[in-house]
Amino acid sequence: MGHYVSFRTNRFDSTTVKPHFINPETGFGEDVVTWLRQNVQHPDIVLESPIQEDYGWGIWANVRGTPYWIAASLVDKGDETHLPEWGVTVVYERGCNPFRRVPPSRHEDLLLLSQTIDHVLHADPAITEIQWWREGFEQGQPTAHPE
């Protein structure tokens, strides 16, 4: 269960490979999750410190006591005519138990977290072409806001 958002912006660094990157090709996204951590403001949402992954960066979000994972990565570095494209995944983390059922409240919390991220993205004029996906990036029909 998750939401996926893609957007274009030059707000975040998509070219400088930093010495601490696990993977120099996919290490981008640290500034995305740091920016989200600074800008996502809701009394029911607590964001932890950024964590590097081999595909980009992630951050744990606690929504009313339930863990969610937010992952950010560079999808396309862009070129002279297109800004870099970023992808952010927002998923409910069931832990190691694959049989744990997803209670209906988790859907509401996931939507709350995604809508809060959506608000932050839309509030920044440097971020364009925001598209939300339900089945994965560029799968199904995108929407302007999470559903």
Domain that holds residue 9: 2-133
Distance CA 42, CA 79 (A): 35
Q: Where are the alpha helices (DSSP H) in 12-130?
A: 30-39, 104-123
Provide the whole-model pTM.
0.91
Residue in the structure block whose two tokens are 């274009």: 8
- Does 139 reside within a domain? no
- Does 141 reside within a domain? no
Interacting residues of 13 by C-beta distance below 8 A, sequence separation 6+: 28, 31
Please tell me whether residue 107 adopts helix, strand or coil conformation.
helix
Residue, of 127 and 17, whose pLDDT is higher: 127
Give 116's pLDDT tier (boundaries 50, 70, 90): very high
Q: What's residue 146's pLDDT? A: 96
Average pLDDT over residues 14-20: 86
- Percentage of the chain beyond pLDDT 90 is 69
- Does 144 reside within a domain? no
- Does 123 reside within a domain? yes
Domain count, the chain: 1
- Residue 134 and residue 147 in contact, taking contact as beta carbons nearer than 8 Å: yes
Give 138's pLDDT tier (boundaries 50, 70, 90): confident
